[in-house]
Chain A
Protein backbone atom coordinates (compact mmCIF):
# COMPACT_ATOMS: atom_id res chain seq x y z
CA UNK A 1 0.00 0.00 0.00
CA UNK A 2 2.80 2.34 -0.88
CA UNK A 3 2.39 6.06 -1.24
CA UNK A 4 3.43 6.06 -4.88
CA UNK A 5 1.07 3.24 -5.81
CA UNK A 6 -1.91 4.92 -4.23
CA UNK A 7 -1.20 8.14 -6.12
CA UNK A 8 -0.98 6.16 -9.36
CA UNK A 9 -4.28 4.39 -8.72
CA UNK A 10 -5.97 7.70 -7.92
CA UNK A 11 -4.72 9.26 -11.14
CA UNK A 12 -5.82 6.19 -13.10
CA UNK A 13 -9.30 6.48 -11.56
CA UNK A 14 -9.63 10.17 -12.44
CA UNK A 15 -8.41 9.69 -15.99
CA UNK A 16 -10.64 6.64 -16.52
CA UNK A 17 -13.77 8.41 -15.37
CA UNK A 18 -12.99 11.58 -17.31
CA UNK A 19 -12.13 9.82 -20.55
CA UNK A 20 -15.41 7.93 -20.40
CA UNK A 21 -17.44 11.12 -20.89
CA UNK A 22 -14.77 13.74 -21.78
CA UNK A 23 -17.36 16.34 -20.73
CA UNK A 24 -14.94 18.39 -18.72
CA UNK A 25 -12.06 18.21 -21.19
CA UNK A 26 -14.30 19.23 -24.08
CA UNK A 27 -15.71 22.22 -22.31
CA UNK A 28 -12.25 23.29 -21.09
CA UNK A 29 -10.88 23.10 -24.59
CA UNK A 30 -13.75 24.98 -26.19
CA UNK A 31 -13.57 27.60 -23.49
CA UNK A 32 -9.83 28.11 -24.01
CA UNK A 33 -10.34 28.61 -27.73
CA UNK A 34 -13.36 30.86 -27.23
CA UNK A 35 -11.44 33.09 -24.88
CA UNK A 36 -8.77 33.50 -27.53
CA UNK A 37 -11.27 34.31 -30.23
CA UNK A 38 -12.89 36.92 -28.02
CA UNK A 39 -9.47 38.39 -27.40
CA UNK A 40 -8.83 38.68 -31.11
CA UNK A 41 -12.02 40.72 -31.40
CA UNK A 42 -10.98 42.88 -28.48
CA UNK A 43 -7.53 43.58 -29.93
CA UNK A 44 -7.06 43.92 -33.67
CA UNK A 45 -5.30 40.64 -34.55
CA UNK A 46 -3.52 42.20 -37.54
CA UNK A 47 -1.75 44.93 -35.68
CA UNK A 48 1.48 44.99 -33.79
CA UNK A 49 -0.43 44.85 -30.49
CA UNK A 50 -0.70 41.08 -30.91
CA UNK A 51 2.98 40.65 -30.21
CA UNK A 52 2.54 42.51 -26.96
CA UNK A 53 -0.63 40.86 -25.71
CA UNK A 54 -0.03 37.33 -26.98
CA UNK A 55 1.67 35.97 -23.80
CA UNK A 56 -1.14 37.46 -21.74
CA UNK A 57 -3.76 35.90 -24.01
CA UNK A 58 -2.16 32.48 -23.58
CA UNK A 59 -2.22 32.61 -19.81
CA UNK A 60 -5.65 34.16 -19.45
CA UNK A 61 -7.10 31.49 -21.75
CA UNK A 62 -5.35 28.73 -19.80
CA UNK A 63 -6.46 30.08 -16.44
CA UNK A 64 -10.08 30.43 -17.52
CA UNK A 65 -10.12 26.94 -18.97
CA UNK A 66 -8.31 25.63 -15.91
CA UNK A 67 -10.82 27.03 -13.47
CA UNK A 68 -13.56 25.06 -15.22
CA UNK A 69 -11.62 21.88 -14.57
CA UNK A 70 -10.77 22.81 -11.00
CA UNK A 71 -14.42 23.50 -10.25
CA UNK A 72 -15.22 19.95 -11.25
CA UNK A 73 -12.17 18.36 -9.71
CA UNK A 74 -13.72 17.22 -6.45
CA UNK A 75 -17.35 16.94 -7.56
CA UNK A 76 -16.94 13.24 -8.27
CA UNK A 77 -15.63 12.61 -4.78
CA UNK A 78 -18.47 14.53 -3.24
CA UNK A 79 -21.32 12.61 -4.84
CA UNK A 80 -22.18 9.37 -3.03
CA UNK A 81 -19.76 10.35 -0.23
CA UNK A 82 -16.87 8.77 -2.10
CA UNK A 83 -14.50 10.82 -0.01
CA UNK A 84 -15.25 8.66 3.00
CA UNK A 85 -14.45 5.51 1.13
CA UNK A 86 -11.27 7.10 -0.12
CA UNK A 87 -10.17 8.23 3.32
CA UNK A 88 -10.68 4.75 4.70
CA UNK A 89 -8.20 3.47 2.13
CA UNK A 90 -5.38 5.76 3.02
CA UNK A 91 -3.80 6.81 6.27
CA UNK A 92 -2.50 10.01 4.70
CA UNK A 93 -4.81 12.53 2.98
CA UNK A 94 -1.70 13.99 1.33
CA UNK A 95 -1.99 11.10 -1.13
CA UNK A 96 -5.36 12.42 -2.24
CA UNK A 97 -3.88 15.88 -2.80
CA UNK A 98 -0.99 14.61 -4.88
CA UNK A 99 -3.26 12.27 -6.85
CA UNK A 100 -5.63 15.11 -7.70
CA UNK A 101 -2.71 17.41 -8.48
CA UNK A 102 -1.31 14.97 -11.02
CA UNK A 103 -4.64 14.23 -12.68
CA UNK A 104 -5.48 17.94 -12.94
CA UNK A 105 -2.01 18.55 -14.31
CA UNK A 106 -2.52 15.90 -16.96
CA UNK A 107 -5.89 17.41 -17.94
CA UNK A 108 -4.29 20.86 -18.26
CA UNK A 109 -1.37 19.54 -20.31
CA UNK A 110 -3.82 17.86 -22.70
CA UNK A 111 -5.68 21.15 -23.11
CA UNK A 112 -2.43 23.02 -23.68
CA UNK A 113 -1.16 20.48 -26.17
CA UNK A 114 -4.24 21.02 -28.33
CA UNK A 115 -5.05 24.68 -27.77
CA UNK A 116 -1.60 26.30 -27.85
CA UNK A 117 -0.71 25.30 -31.42
CA UNK A 118 -4.14 26.57 -32.50
CA UNK A 119 -3.46 29.83 -30.67
CA UNK A 120 -0.19 30.29 -32.53
CA UNK A 121 -2.02 29.63 -35.80
CA UNK A 122 -4.90 31.99 -35.07
CA UNK A 123 -2.61 34.86 -34.20
CA UNK A 124 -0.11 33.90 -36.88
CA UNK A 125 2.59 34.16 -34.26
CA UNK A 126 6.11 33.04 -35.04
CA UNK A 127 8.22 31.76 -32.20
CA UNK A 128 11.64 33.40 -32.10
CA UNK A 129 13.04 31.85 -28.94
CA UNK A 130 13.61 28.26 -28.01
CA UNK A 131 10.64 25.88 -27.98
CA UNK A 132 12.16 23.83 -25.17
CA UNK A 133 12.30 26.76 -22.77
CA UNK A 134 8.76 27.78 -23.72
CA UNK A 135 7.46 24.30 -22.93
CA UNK A 136 9.33 24.32 -19.63
CA UNK A 137 7.93 27.69 -18.54
CA UNK A 138 4.40 26.76 -19.53
CA UNK A 139 4.65 23.42 -17.74
CA UNK A 140 6.05 25.00 -14.57
CA UNK A 141 3.49 27.79 -14.66
CA UNK A 142 0.70 25.24 -15.05
CA UNK A 143 2.12 23.29 -12.13
CA UNK A 144 1.88 26.31 -9.84
CA UNK A 145 -1.64 27.10 -11.03
CA UNK A 146 -2.77 23.53 -10.42
CA UNK A 147 -0.92 23.15 -7.12
CA UNK A 148 -2.77 25.98 -5.42
CA UNK A 149 -5.91 25.50 -7.53
CA UNK A 150 -6.34 21.88 -6.50
CA UNK A 151 -5.88 22.81 -2.88
CA UNK A 152 -8.42 25.65 -2.92
CA UNK A 153 -10.80 23.53 -4.98
CA UNK A 154 -10.80 20.95 -2.18
CA UNK A 155 -11.48 23.74 0.28
CA UNK A 156 -14.26 25.29 -1.79
CA UNK A 157 -15.84 21.87 -2.38
CA UNK A 158 -17.30 22.03 1.11
CA UNK A 159 -19.71 24.81 0.22
CA UNK A 160 -22.74 24.65 -2.02
CA UNK A 161 -21.63 27.54 -4.24
CA UNK A 162 -18.09 26.38 -4.79
CA UNK A 163 -18.18 27.66 -8.39
CA UNK A 164 -18.72 31.16 -7.06
CA UNK A 165 -16.13 30.94 -4.35
CA UNK A 166 -13.21 29.27 -6.12
CA UNK A 167 -12.35 31.96 -8.72
CA UNK A 168 -12.61 34.73 -6.16
CA UNK A 169 -10.23 33.08 -3.73
CA UNK A 170 -7.90 31.57 -6.32
CA UNK A 171 -7.11 34.46 -8.66
CA UNK A 172 -5.74 36.95 -6.10
CA UNK A 173 -3.25 34.34 -4.91
CA UNK A 174 -2.27 33.56 -8.50
CA UNK A 175 -1.24 37.11 -9.35
CA UNK A 176 2.51 36.70 -8.71
CA UNK A 177 2.57 33.45 -10.70
CA UNK A 178 0.68 35.06 -13.55
CA UNK A 179 2.97 38.07 -13.67
CA UNK A 180 6.02 35.82 -13.77
CA UNK A 181 4.58 33.37 -16.27
CA UNK A 182 3.37 36.08 -18.66
CA UNK A 183 6.68 37.91 -18.44
CA UNK A 184 8.79 34.81 -18.95
CA UNK A 185 6.60 33.58 -21.80
CA UNK A 186 6.79 36.99 -23.48
CA UNK A 187 10.55 37.19 -23.20
CA UNK A 188 11.05 33.65 -24.51
CA UNK A 189 8.65 34.25 -27.41
CA UNK A 190 10.61 37.37 -28.31
CA UNK A 191 13.87 35.45 -28.33
CA UNK A 192 15.28 36.89 -25.10
CA UNK A 193 18.29 35.13 -23.61
CA UNK A 194 18.11 33.05 -20.45
CA UNK A 195 19.51 35.80 -18.23
CA UNK A 196 16.70 38.16 -19.19
CA UNK A 197 13.99 35.90 -17.80
CA UNK A 198 15.75 33.70 -15.25
CA UNK A 199 14.39 35.99 -12.51
CA UNK A 200 10.87 35.13 -13.55
CA UNK A 201 11.68 31.45 -13.73
CA UNK A 202 12.91 31.82 -10.16
CA UNK A 203 9.58 33.26 -9.07
CA UNK A 204 7.64 30.51 -10.85
CA UNK A 205 9.79 27.80 -9.29
CA UNK A 206 9.54 29.23 -5.79
CA UNK A 207 5.78 29.64 -6.17
CA UNK A 208 5.50 26.00 -7.31
CA UNK A 209 7.68 24.72 -4.52
CA UNK A 210 6.14 26.77 -1.72
CA UNK A 211 2.54 26.11 -2.64
CA UNK A 212 2.98 22.44 -3.42
CA UNK A 213 4.62 21.82 -0.06
CA UNK A 214 2.30 24.07 1.96
CA UNK A 215 -0.81 22.68 0.27
CA UNK A 216 0.34 19.13 0.75
CA UNK A 217 1.04 19.83 4.40
CA UNK A 218 -2.24 21.67 5.07
CA UNK A 219 -4.37 19.18 3.12
CA UNK A 220 -4.94 17.09 6.27
CA UNK A 221 -6.70 20.06 7.78
CA UNK A 222 -8.87 20.58 4.71
CA UNK A 223 -10.13 17.00 4.59
CA UNK A 224 -10.66 16.52 8.27
CA UNK A 225 -14.35 16.19 9.08
Chain B
Protein backbone atom coordinates (compact mmCIF):
# COMPACT_ATOMS: atom_id res chain seq x y z
CA UNK B 1 0.00 0.00 0.00
CA UNK B 2 2.65 2.46 1.12
CA UNK B 3 4.77 1.30 -1.76
CA UNK B 4 1.97 2.02 -4.20
CA UNK B 5 1.48 5.49 -2.78
CA UNK B 6 5.21 6.16 -3.05
CA UNK B 7 5.22 5.00 -6.67
CA UNK B 8 2.39 7.38 -7.59
CA UNK B 9 3.83 10.28 -5.63
CA UNK B 10 7.19 9.80 -7.34
CA UNK B 11 5.57 9.57 -10.74
CA UNK B 12 3.49 12.70 -10.27
CA UNK B 13 6.24 14.79 -8.69
CA UNK B 14 8.76 13.90 -11.39
CA UNK B 15 6.12 14.80 -13.96
CA UNK B 16 5.45 18.09 -12.20
CA UNK B 17 9.15 18.88 -11.96
CA UNK B 18 9.65 18.15 -15.64
CA UNK B 19 6.73 20.41 -16.53
CA UNK B 20 8.00 23.24 -14.33
CA UNK B 21 11.52 22.99 -15.71
CA UNK B 22 10.64 22.86 -19.37
CA UNK B 23 7.35 24.74 -19.68
CA UNK B 24 6.91 27.07 -16.76
CA UNK B 25 10.14 28.51 -15.45
CA UNK B 26 11.61 31.36 -17.55
CA UNK B 27 15.03 31.03 -19.16
CA UNK B 28 17.94 32.50 -17.31
CA UNK B 29 18.94 35.84 -18.91
CA UNK B 30 22.62 35.25 -19.60
CA UNK B 31 22.93 31.49 -19.91
CA UNK B 32 19.70 30.77 -21.75
CA UNK B 33 17.95 27.39 -21.89
CA UNK B 34 21.10 25.45 -20.97
CA UNK B 35 20.74 26.70 -17.42
CA UNK B 36 17.67 24.44 -17.06
CA UNK B 37 20.02 21.52 -16.44
CA UNK B 38 20.74 23.21 -13.13
CA UNK B 39 17.49 21.92 -11.61
CA UNK B 40 18.42 18.30 -12.28
CA UNK B 41 22.09 18.84 -11.53
CA UNK B 42 21.49 20.25 -8.07
CA UNK B 43 18.73 17.76 -7.27
CA UNK B 44 20.96 14.85 -8.31
CA UNK B 45 23.81 16.20 -6.19
CA UNK B 46 21.50 16.45 -3.18
CA UNK B 47 20.31 12.87 -3.66
CA UNK B 48 23.91 11.69 -3.99
CA UNK B 49 24.95 13.26 -0.69
CA UNK B 50 21.78 12.11 1.02
CA UNK B 51 22.30 8.54 -0.24
CA UNK B 52 25.83 8.50 1.19
CA UNK B 53 24.56 9.75 4.52
CA UNK B 54 22.15 6.82 4.52
CA UNK B 55 25.05 4.44 3.74
CA UNK B 56 26.84 5.79 6.82
CA UNK B 57 23.79 5.46 9.07
CA UNK B 58 23.07 1.94 7.79
CA UNK B 59 26.72 1.00 8.43
CA UNK B 60 26.45 2.10 12.05
CA UNK B 61 23.08 0.36 12.42
CA UNK B 62 24.51 -2.84 10.94
CA UNK B 63 27.52 -2.96 13.24
CA UNK B 64 25.28 -2.39 16.26
CA UNK B 65 22.41 -4.75 15.40
CA UNK B 66 23.96 -7.15 12.84
CA UNK B 67 20.62 -7.21 11.05
CA UNK B 68 20.91 -8.05 7.38
CA UNK B 69 18.35 -5.43 6.36
CA UNK B 70 20.71 -2.57 7.22
CA UNK B 71 23.26 -4.03 4.87
CA UNK B 72 20.65 -4.26 2.13
CA UNK B 73 19.62 -0.65 2.63
CA UNK B 74 23.23 0.54 2.80
CA UNK B 75 24.28 -1.32 -0.33
CA UNK B 76 21.25 -0.18 -2.31
CA UNK B 77 21.70 3.39 -1.16
CA UNK B 78 25.37 3.35 -2.20
CA UNK B 79 24.48 2.10 -5.67
CA UNK B 80 21.86 4.82 -6.10
CA UNK B 81 24.27 7.41 -4.69
CA UNK B 82 26.93 6.45 -7.22
CA UNK B 83 24.31 6.61 -9.98
CA UNK B 84 23.25 10.12 -9.00
CA UNK B 85 26.78 11.43 -8.49
CA UNK B 86 27.49 10.06 -11.97
CA UNK B 87 24.56 12.15 -13.21
CA UNK B 88 26.08 15.17 -11.44
CA UNK B 89 29.44 14.52 -13.05
CA UNK B 90 27.81 14.27 -16.49
CA UNK B 91 25.40 17.21 -16.21
CA UNK B 92 28.11 19.40 -14.66
CA UNK B 93 30.34 19.47 -17.77
CA UNK B 94 27.31 19.79 -20.07
CA UNK B 95 26.37 22.92 -18.18
CA UNK B 96 29.93 24.12 -17.80
CA UNK B 97 30.89 23.92 -21.47
CA UNK B 98 28.55 26.65 -22.83
CA UNK B 99 28.67 28.85 -19.72
CA UNK B 100 32.31 28.66 -18.60
CA UNK B 101 33.75 27.56 -21.93
CA UNK B 102 35.41 24.51 -20.37
CA UNK B 103 34.17 20.98 -19.85
CA UNK B 104 35.66 20.69 -16.44
CA UNK B 105 36.68 23.20 -13.81
CA UNK B 106 38.20 22.27 -10.49
CA UNK B 107 35.35 23.99 -8.76
CA UNK B 108 35.13 22.85 -5.11
CA UNK B 109 31.64 21.42 -5.47
CA UNK B 110 32.37 19.50 -8.64
CA UNK B 111 35.72 18.27 -7.32
CA UNK B 112 34.24 17.12 -4.03
CA UNK B 113 31.57 15.23 -5.97
CA UNK B 114 34.30 13.57 -8.04
CA UNK B 115 36.16 12.47 -4.91
CA UNK B 116 32.92 11.19 -3.38
CA UNK B 117 32.26 9.27 -6.56
CA UNK B 118 35.64 7.55 -6.19
CA UNK B 119 35.08 6.82 -2.50
CA UNK B 120 31.77 5.11 -3.17
CA UNK B 121 33.09 3.25 -6.18
CA UNK B 122 35.63 1.93 -3.67
CA UNK B 123 32.72 1.01 -1.40
CA UNK B 124 31.19 -1.01 -4.24
CA UNK B 125 34.63 -2.61 -4.83
CA UNK B 126 34.74 -3.65 -1.17
CA UNK B 127 31.35 -5.28 -1.60
CA UNK B 128 32.42 -7.36 -4.58
CA UNK B 129 35.74 -8.38 -2.99
CA UNK B 130 34.32 -10.51 -0.19
CA UNK B 131 32.34 -13.53 -1.31
CA UNK B 132 31.42 -14.53 2.26
CA UNK B 133 28.23 -12.64 3.14
CA UNK B 134 29.15 -11.98 6.76
CA UNK B 135 32.49 -10.42 5.85
CA UNK B 136 30.96 -8.47 2.99
CA UNK B 137 28.34 -6.94 5.26
CA UNK B 138 30.76 -6.16 8.05
CA UNK B 139 33.53 -4.68 5.91
CA UNK B 140 31.25 -2.62 3.74
CA UNK B 141 29.56 -1.22 6.85
CA UNK B 142 32.99 -0.27 8.18
CA UNK B 143 34.06 1.29 4.90
CA UNK B 144 30.76 3.15 4.61
CA UNK B 145 31.45 4.74 7.99
CA UNK B 146 35.08 5.60 7.27
CA UNK B 147 34.21 6.97 3.83
CA UNK B 148 31.54 9.29 5.11
CA UNK B 149 33.74 10.60 7.91
CA UNK B 150 36.18 11.61 5.18
CA UNK B 151 33.58 13.73 3.36
CA UNK B 152 33.78 16.93 5.47
CA UNK B 153 37.61 16.81 5.42
CA UNK B 154 37.50 16.41 1.64
CA UNK B 155 35.17 19.38 1.36
CA UNK B 156 37.28 21.71 3.52
CA UNK B 157 40.59 20.75 1.94
CA UNK B 158 39.27 21.16 -1.59
CA UNK B 159 37.64 24.49 -0.80
CA UNK B 160 40.86 25.88 0.67
CA UNK B 161 42.85 24.39 -2.16
CA UNK B 162 40.68 26.23 -4.70
CA UNK B 163 40.56 29.56 -2.86
CA UNK B 164 44.30 29.68 -2.74
CA UNK B 165 44.40 29.15 -6.47
CA UNK B 166 42.78 31.99 -8.40
CA UNK B 167 39.08 31.24 -8.63
CA UNK B 168 38.25 31.30 -12.33
CA UNK B 169 34.54 30.94 -12.04
CA UNK B 170 32.10 31.37 -9.26
CA UNK B 171 29.64 28.48 -9.24
CA UNK B 172 26.74 30.38 -7.77
CA UNK B 173 27.04 33.19 -10.25
CA UNK B 174 23.40 34.00 -10.84
CA UNK B 175 20.53 35.29 -8.78
CA UNK B 176 17.47 33.11 -8.61
CA UNK B 177 14.00 34.45 -9.19
CA UNK B 178 11.14 33.12 -7.11
CA UNK B 179 9.93 30.99 -10.02
CA UNK B 180 13.36 29.44 -10.31
CA UNK B 181 13.45 28.74 -6.60
CA UNK B 182 10.03 27.07 -6.73
CA UNK B 183 11.15 24.90 -9.63
CA UNK B 184 14.32 23.95 -7.80
CA UNK B 185 12.41 22.99 -4.67
CA UNK B 186 9.95 20.88 -6.64
CA UNK B 187 12.85 19.11 -8.39
CA UNK B 188 14.47 18.46 -5.04
CA UNK B 189 11.28 16.90 -3.72
CA UNK B 190 10.82 14.88 -6.92
CA UNK B 191 14.38 13.55 -6.83
CA UNK B 192 14.15 12.68 -3.13
CA UNK B 193 10.96 10.72 -3.79
CA UNK B 194 12.65 9.08 -6.76
CA UNK B 195 15.52 8.11 -4.46
CA UNK B 196 13.15 6.56 -1.93
CA UNK B 197 11.32 4.73 -4.70
CA UNK B 198 14.56 3.35 -6.16
CA UNK B 199 15.82 2.43 -2.71
CA UNK B 200 12.75 0.42 -1.74
CA UNK B 201 12.67 -1.27 -5.14
CA UNK B 202 16.37 -2.14 -4.99
CA UNK B 203 16.03 -3.52 -1.47
CA UNK B 204 13.07 -5.63 -2.57
CA UNK B 205 15.14 -7.05 -5.43
CA UNK B 206 18.04 -7.76 -3.07
CA UNK B 207 15.67 -9.52 -0.66
CA UNK B 208 14.40 -11.78 -3.43
CA UNK B 209 17.99 -12.44 -4.42
CA UNK B 210 18.82 -13.52 -0.86
CA UNK B 211 15.77 -15.73 -0.71
CA UNK B 212 16.86 -17.49 -3.86
CA UNK B 213 20.28 -18.02 -2.28
CA UNK B 214 18.64 -19.54 0.79
CA UNK B 215 16.45 -21.83 -1.26
CA UNK B 216 19.49 -22.93 -3.23
CA UNK B 217 21.30 -23.66 0.03
CA UNK B 218 18.37 -25.64 1.36
CA UNK B 219 18.04 -27.66 -1.83
CA UNK B 220 21.76 -28.41 -1.98
CA UNK B 221 21.91 -29.54 1.64
A and B touch in the complex (CB under 8 A): yes
Q: Which residue numbers of A lie inside 8 Å of B, CB to CB?
A: 148, 151-152, 155-156, 158-159, 161, 165, 168-169, 171-173, 175-177, 179-180, 183, 199-200, 203, 206-207, 210-211, 214-215, 218, 221-222, 224
> How many Å from the CB of A190 to the closest CB on chain B?
13
Other-chain contact of B126, A165, A180, A214, A224 (Cβ < 8 Å): A165
> How many Å from the CB of B177 to the closest CB on chain A?
36
Contact across chains for B157 and A222 when beta carbons are under 8 A apart: no
> How many Å from the CB of B168 to the closest CB on chain A?
18
On chain A, the residues within 8 Å of B12 by CB distance are none
On chain B, the residues within 8 Å of A151 by CB distance are 146
Contact across chains for A176 and B150 when beta carbons are under 8 A apart: yes
> How many Å from the CB of B147 to the closest CB on chain A?
7
Other-chain contact of B145, A177, A200, A218 (Cβ < 8 Å): A218
On chain A, the residues within 8 Å of B130 by CB distance are 158-159
On chain A, the residues within 8 Å of B142 by CB distance are 155, 218, 221-222
Contact across chains for A175 and B129 when beta carbons are under 8 A apart: no
Contact across chains for B146 and A172 when beta carbons are under 8 A apart: no
Closest to A176 in B: B157
On chain B, the residues within 8 Å of A177 by CB distance are 153, 157
Other-chain contact of B158, A148, A155, A159, A179 (Cβ < 8 Å): A179
Contact across chains for B149 and A221 when beta carbons are under 8 A apart: no
Contact across chains for B122 and A155 when beta carbons are under 8 A apart: no
Contact across chains for B139 and A222 when beta carbons are under 8 A apart: yes
Q: Which residue numbers of B lie inside 8 Å of A, CB to CB?
A: 63, 115, 118-119, 121-122, 125-126, 129-130, 135, 138-139, 141-143, 145-147, 149-150, 153-154, 156-158, 160-161, 164
Closest to B116 in A: A172
Contact across chains for B153 and A206 when beta carbons are under 8 A apart: yes
A108 to B115, CA, bound (A): 26
Top 10 closest A-B pairs, CB basis?
Answer: A176-B157, A172-B118, A169-B122, A176-B153, A172-B119, A159-B129, A179-B157, A176-B154, A173-B150, A179-B161
On chain B, the residues within 8 Å of A200 by CB distance are 160
> How many Å from the CB of B71 to the closest CB on chain A?
13
Contact across chains for B126 and A169 when beta carbons are under 8 A apart: yes
Closest to A160 in B: B129
On chain A, the residues within 8 Å of B118 by CB distance are 171-172, 175
> How many Å from the CB of A149 to the closest CB on chain B?
12
A171 to B157, CA, bound (A): 15
Provide a sorted-by-A list of 7 A–B residue pairs whose CB atoms are within 8 angstroms.
Answer: A168-B122, A172-B115, A177-B157, A183-B164, A203-B160, A214-B145, A214-B146
Given A183-B161, A203-B160, A173:B146 Cβ within 8 A: yes
> How many Å from the CB of B108 to the closest CB on chain A?
11
A159, A168, A214, A215, most chain B CB atoms within 10 A? A159
On chain A, the residues within 8 Å of B63 by CB distance are 221
On chain A, the residues within 8 Å of B164 by CB distance are 183
On chain A, the residues within 8 Å of B154 by CB distance are 175-176
Can you name 17 extra interface pairs (CB under 8 A) apart from A176-B153, A179-B161?
A152-B146, A155-B139, A156-B129, A165-B125, A169-B122, A172-B115, A172-B150, A175-B115, A176-B158, A179-B157, A203-B156, A203-B160, A206-B153, A214-B146, A218-B145, A221-B142, A222-B142
Other-chain contact of B146, A148, A158, A168, A180 (Cβ < 8 Å): A148
Contact across chains for A203 and B153 when beta carbons are under 8 A apart: yes
> How many Å from the CB of B3 to the closest CB on chain A?
33
> How many Å from the CB of A78 to the closest CB on chain B?
14
Closest to A218 in B: B142
Contact across chains for A168 and B125 when beta carbons are under 8 A apart: yes
Closest to A172 in B: B118
A214 to B143, CA, bound (A): 11
On chain A, the residues within 8 Å of B157 by CB distance are 175-177, 179-180, 203
> How many Å from the CB of B142 to the closest CB on chain A?
6
Contact across chains for B129 and A210 when beta carbons are under 8 A apart: no
On chain A, the residues within 8 Å of B147 by CB distance are 172-173
On chain B, the residues within 8 Å of A207 by CB distance are 153
Closest to A175 in B: B115
